[in-house]
Structures are given as C-alpha cells and as structure tokens.
Amino acid sequence: MQEVTIPPSPVQPALDASKSKQEVKRRIWRNRWLYVMIAPGLLYFIIFKYLPMYGLIISFQDYKPYHGILGSDWVGMKHFTRLFTEPDFLNILMNTLILFGLNIFIYFPIPIILALMLNELRGNFFKRIFQSLLYIPHFMSWVIVVSISFVMVTMDGGIINDLLVFFGFEKINFLLNPSWFRPMYIIQVIWREAGWGTIIYLASIAAIDPGLYEAARMDGAGRLRQIWHITIPAIRGVIITLFILKIGSVLDLGFEHVYLLLNSMNREVAEIIDTYVYTAGLRQGQFSYSTAIGFFKSIIGLIMVMAVNKIAKKLGEEGVY
C-alpha cells in the first residue's frame, strides 16, 4: 500500500476562515432585527417585481390561465416573430418613438430654460411665488390634467373653441381629430411637468460658487455670457444624467396619459406599446403575445440605459451608475 502523503495543512488560514465564519454568524445574529425589518420589503420586491419577471416566460408559450405557467404549451419565438411581421405593431412602435421624440426634442430643454430664467430672477419673493405656481400641476393626476383640457377644448362650450369663433376661426374638434393628438399630448406633458422639472436644475445651480460670477463680471461678461460660460457648464452633468434616464424610458411614455387621450378616431396615431399591451392583453386575452411586447419594451429600455450610460462615461461624464 502506498503511503499517502498528507500535504501540510494550512492550519493558520483554516482557523482564520472558521473564525471569520463565526464572526459573520455573530454579526448576523446581532443584526437579526435588521433582517426582520428588511424581510417584508424584500418579500414585496420578490412577489411583485421578481415573480412577474419569472412570468415573462409565458411570452414563449401559448399561455392558458387554466393550465398556468407550468402547464401551458411552449411555442418558442412565435410571439416575437409575430411582433416583427405584424404591420400593426410597426405602426405602434412608430407612434411610440414619435411621442418619445417629442419628449426629447420639445419637452426636455424646457425645464432647463425655465430653471435658468428663474435663477436670473432678482428678489426671492417672486421667485418663490413663480416656483410654487409652476409646481402645482405636477401633483394633479393625468386624469385631472386631461379632464381640465377636455372641458377647455370641447366643441360645445369649451373656452378654446369659443375663443377661436370669437377671433373668426372655425371650431376645431381637438379630441377626435388625429392631427391634434400629438400637439395635445406634448402640451399636456409640458404643462404638468415643466415646472417640477426645474427643481433638480435649480438645486445644482444653487451649488455654483458665486465667485465664478464675480470673476466673470470683472472680465466684463453680461448676463447672457455668464449663463453661457458658467451656469450651463456647471449643470452639464445633471443635464446628461437626466438625459440618460429619459433615454432609458424610451418606450415607457406612461400608460395613463395616452390611454386617456386614446379613442377610436385617433387610434392610428395614438396607440402606443403600453396601451396596446393593455388592450391586446387584458381586453382581448392575448396574454402571451402582449407579454412578449412588454418584454421587448423592457429589454430595449435596459439596453438603452446601459448604452447611453456607457457613452456618457466615455465622454468623461459621471453617468447614472
């Protein structure tokens, strides 16, 4: 029998390991109440956020509620193939991207400009009053915002149409005319969010060293030059961060707002991915197909955030994470 050579055991490290294992155990026991505190929250995230992620597998099945996830038939990529071959879906994707474009090119710069204007206001009294007024719409639900605009633009007795008639124009059916859907959508977005959007910019402007302005004035810079050479460069990081977040929500325009504006007359331009998922999924019972659409949307969002974040970092900015 061959002699078994036992390698010299690393006694010291082993002891250390068991010691630190004990140490961890002790730490866990000492923090047991903290784990109790985290448990309900963790359970919430597992049930309502991670279980639905598991539920995404029904997009590879022909899901039948009666059979459940485990009992339904697998169909591979069928629903995803359908997605890209159905003209309906391509139209919906286009609608979604157009609204996203409006958000990026029209809405996005407005809070920045508003914040710069508010910052240039002398005297805190008016600054505070204007801010308070501008914040209010953010606290109104989309239902309220849409309702207010509807009573204003309705054909019978809406103030806007009355004004149009007063100035000698024709009445416009804003609600049913598809070409008014996009303008109404973006005006409502601006009305509700532009004021609130200034908060974060104002906060970062407040952090700018006043000495910089002092120096610029010494060099003879006027108000506009100070804004251009000091304020805007100072808030560049915040602008980029918010831009990344906005890009990440590319297909996530908010179900509520669009759903409220949607009707059978403007469906051609107003149907977006979110509303389509609702109609196809919950109204028509095409669970698997609409889950596939939602899955597609989530993945695009994730990819966009990661990509834009990477680009921002390459450009020497901080990025979101």
Partner 1 sequence: MVEDRSFGGRLFAAVNFTLLAIIALITVLPFIHVVAGSFTTSAELAASKFVLIPKVWSFEAYKFIFSTNTIFRAMGVSVGVTLVGTFVSMFLTALMAYGLSRRDLDGRKVVNFMVVFTMLFHGGMIPTFLVVKELGLIDTYASLIIPSAISAFNMIILKNFFQNIPEGLEESAKIDGCNDFGILFKIVLPLSMPAIATISLFYAVTYWNTYMTAILYLDDSAKWPIQVLLRQIVVLASGMDHSSTLDAAVPPPDQTIKMAVIVVATLPILMVYPFLQKHFAKGAMLGSMKG
DSSP 62: E
Contacting partner 1 within 192-221 (CB under 8 A): 195, 199-200, 203-204, 210, 213, 217
Q: Which of 60, 115, 240, 248 binds partner 1 (CB under 8 A)?
A: 248
The nearest distance, CB 9 to partner 1, in angstroms, is 28
DSSP 8-state class, residue 56: G
Which of 8/40 has CB closer to partner 1? Answer: 40
Please choose, from the candidates 262, 257, 276, the residue with its C-alpha nearest in 3D space to the C-alpha of residue 175: 262
C-alpha dihedral (217, 222, 227, 231), degrees to nearest 10: 0
* Complex with partner 1: residue 51 or 94, whichever CB lies closer: 51
Residues 6+ apart with CB under 8 A from 269: 95, 98, 178, 179, 181, 182
The 38-77 site mask, x for binding partner 1 (CB under 8 A), equals x-xxx-xx-xxxxxxxxxx-x------x------------
As beta bridge partners, residue 73 has: 62
Binding mask 95-134 for partner 1 (x = CB under 8 A): -------------------x--xx-xxx---x--xxxxxx
Q: Least distance (Å) from partner 1 to the CB of residue 69?
A: 8
- Pick from 18, 35, 90, 284 the residue near partner 1 by CB under 8 A: 35
Residue type, 45: F
Q: Which residues contact 315 (CB under 8 A, 6 or more apart)?
A: 240
Pairing between strand 61-62 and 73-74? Answer: antiparallel
Nearest approach, Cβ of residue 314 and partner 1 (Å): 19
- CA–CA separation, 270 vs 182, rounded Å? 8
If the CB atoms of residues 74 and 321 are measured against partner 1, the closer one turns out to be 321
Q: Is 33 in the site for partner 1 (CB under 8 A)?
A: yes
Min CB(181)–partner 1 separation in Å = 12
CA 144 – CA 6 distance, rounded (Å): 78
Pick the piece of the chain touching partner 1 (CB under 8 A) from 1-9, 13-21, 86-94, 156-164: 156-164
Q: Which two tokens stand for residue 179?
A: 């070409």
Q: Which two tokens stand for residue 77?
A: 């990529």
Which 249-308 positions form the footprint of partner 1 (CB under 8 A)? 255-256, 259-260, 262-264, 274, 277-278, 281-282, 287, 290-291, 294-295, 297-299, 301-302, 305
Q: Which of 135, 171, 186, 229 binds partner 1 (CB under 8 A)?
A: 135
Task: Report the C-alpha gap between 92 and 98 in whole angstroms.
Answer: 10
237 binds partner 1, rule: CB under 8 A: no
